A and B are shown apart, each in its own frame.
Chain A
Amino acid sequence: MKNNYWRSNLKILSILLSIWFIVSFGFGIILSDFLDQFQIGGFKLGFWFAQQGSIYFFVLLTFIYIFLMNKLDQKYKDNNEEDH
């Protein structure tokens, strides 16, 4: 049971951190010049990811993490002692 909890945790982490890497290092840096050919409003897309988009994704990812982990905690609650 314990190991299942840890494994699900690692799975959540690896998915979220992959997105974290893609939006910042991927879209904001490596692919940034390529994405600059697309435009949203006055922003070139690569520039937008580097200075705005990555930050919004970071916030979003953290809250998805909180949500998923709370759900996971609920599921395994019976097996854990409460920590106060």
Chain B
Amino acid sequence: MDTQILTYIFVGVSFALYIGIAIWSRASSTNEFYIAGKGVHPIANGMATAADWMSAASFISMAGLIAFLGKDGSVYLMGWTGGYVLLALLLAPYLRKFGQYTVPDFIGTRYYSNAARLVAVVCLIFVSFTYVAGQMRGVGIVFSRFLEVDINLGVIIGMCIVFFYAVLGGMKGITYTQVAQYCVLIFAYLVPAIFISILMTGNPIPQLGFGDTLLNSDIYLLDKLDKVTTELGFNAYTENTKSNIDIFCITAALMFGTAGLPHVIVRFFTVPKVSDARKSAGYALIFIAILYSTAPAVSAFARMNFIDSVQEVQYKEAPNWFKNWENIGLIAWTDKNDDEIIQYSSGNALEGVKPIFNNGRGASGQRLLNNKPDSTNSNEIYIDKDIMVLANPEIAQLPGWVIALVAAGALAAALSTAAGLLLVISTSVSHDLLKKTFMPQITEKQELFYARCSAAAAILIAGLFGIYPPGFVAQVVAFAFGLAAATIFPALLMGIFYKRLNKEGAGMLSGLIITSAYIINFKFINAHLNSADNWFLGISPEGFGFIGMIVNFVIALIVSNFFSKPPNNIYSMVDKIRQP
């Protein structure tokens, strides 16, 4: 059967499944809407957490990024898994014991201050919207490439699905849909990885395969990759290019940021007992590790296959996937030496990096560009790193149903994360802003109504982000993690482990200000100075959240000793959450 029909079937069936689950598990009280009535089994919660966490970025973009970054890409692998250890050991059990609905709830109560609650709400909404924008772009890419519908229509379909199960089902609906989405996405990630691993190395386990020898040869895949990449003028695949201190800080910012992401933390409020919160953090990490340990294998295979299938190939003979992605505008070829053959090496192909296409076609049939070729190097290829995972099955010439499966998996990853984020946003509006701050007199029924309204509003805004993608999405992702690391994580950690910390010392503002200032300076105001020479200690904006976190800790410890101790009821509250 035609790949496109298969894709429609796979995506259609998976969407029908999500909607069916949403109807079966809709929420009827705020308790169910916010935290699924605390009745979720730890394994189910682990799967839901994994789906919640693994977004379009993990599924679609990460392996592609690593494919081009090589060993530098390890920051994502360690950063996005190591944070779970912190979450499991330092936060999840205690926050579950505290037993409220939201993260700002904990911060507001622990620091006996509505101002602290509001700062937390602002950080949370900022972090969550940044993230949602990225998901919607992922949905748009998948729809336009595999279903050949307009990106905007794709985003609207995605919005309707999320709207349906998030607004109806709340946390309960989202949880059980996410369980289904996890199964879809992990299957879709593993199947092509296993296929490609067998094709390239004969080893069916990708995690071992990319450390194995190439089929019918005794050369290790990674050695070959090192050799090929250096020959083309890149850094060797298995060596770092960034400085150790920068890698250290980026990894740390991603780890502490992960542990401070509100939509992940809130998942641990849904299980029945404290010991279940620990258990489900463990299961979540296993489920995540399955994908994250496969990803670097996918990266290595993809890089190798990509080079093999385009390097020194006549454009006219170039594979279909190459031309399909060129038609969407995510691959471009500029024939610098007019030999009609594709040459790939290091350096930018085009001046201004990103291709600007006009409607013309060149001598070989390639799309013509308005950018001038970059004459300082001989690389002729522009490739958007986001397409590697999606294109991988085609590059490896796998059957059509695998390609269809990957499309369904990518949508599951994007939608599950979007739903989790939208729920956190709506909860913090209806619960933290309205019920706890501005309209304390509303009844539970009204609160539930407002929660649904704000979920609907959040979906509309997210959809607008998808249709009119703000150009700064990639830049602000660093921001989201940096802020979570510099504000939410320290406030939670010290709230549990340092009783003496009073509301004056809850230094979320210091972390917020210093991290924002550094990132805004290098990403927006002085973007041209954004290079290692100008960075503080050689730390890039991506890693600066870690410094912001340390500043936050230090200021909190100093300031809190100048002011009076927290009231006694706070001491007893902290004592209570420390007991299981």
Contact = CB atoms under 8 A, between A and B. Distances in A.
B579 A5 contact: yes
Nearest to B70: A47
Interface string A67-78: 001100100000
Interface string A1-35: 01001100100010011001000110011101100
B78 A42 contact: no
A50 B77 contact: yes
Contacts, number: 127
B285 A36 contact: no
B275 A62 contact: no
Contacts of B275: 69-70, 73
B346 interface: no
B238 A55 contact: no
A20 B213 CA distance: 31
Given A5-B579, A24-B251, A61-B85, A56 B289 contact: yes
Given A42-B221, A42-B222, A59-B289, A50 B580 contact: no
Interface string B224-268: 000000000000001110001001100110010000000000000
Nearest to A10: B497
B476 interface: no
B78 A24 contact: yes
Interface residues of A, number: 42
Contacts of B296: 51-52
Interface stretch (B186-194, B276-284, B313-321, B427-435): B276-284
A73 B244 CA distance: 40
Nearest to B250: A29
B220 A41 contact: yes
B240 A20 contact: no
A28 B240 CA distance: 11
Interface in A36-72: 36, 40-44, 47-48, 50-52, 54-56, 58-59, 61-63, 65-66, 69-70
B97 interface: yes
Contacts of B251: 24-25, 28-29
Contacts of B580: 69, 73, 80, 83
A58 B285 contact: yes
B211 interface: yes
Given A30-B248, A55-B292, A58-B81, A47 B286 contact: no
Interface string B196-210: 000000000001101
Contacts of A80: 579-580
7 contacts: A41-B212, A54-B78, A54-B82, A55-B78, A55-B293, A59-B285, A70-B275
Given A51-B66, A54-B77, A69-B275, 13 more contacts: A6-B578, A9-B578, A24-B78, A28-B74, A28-B78, A32-B240, A41-B212, A42-B211, A51-B74, A58-B289, A62-B89, A65-B278, A69-B580
Interface of B: 66, 71, 73-74, 77-78, 81-82, 84-86, 88-90, 93, 97, 99, 207-208, 210-213, 220-223, 238-240, 244, 247-248, 251-252, 255, 272-275, 278-279, 281-282, 285-286, 289, 292-293, 296, 575, 578-580
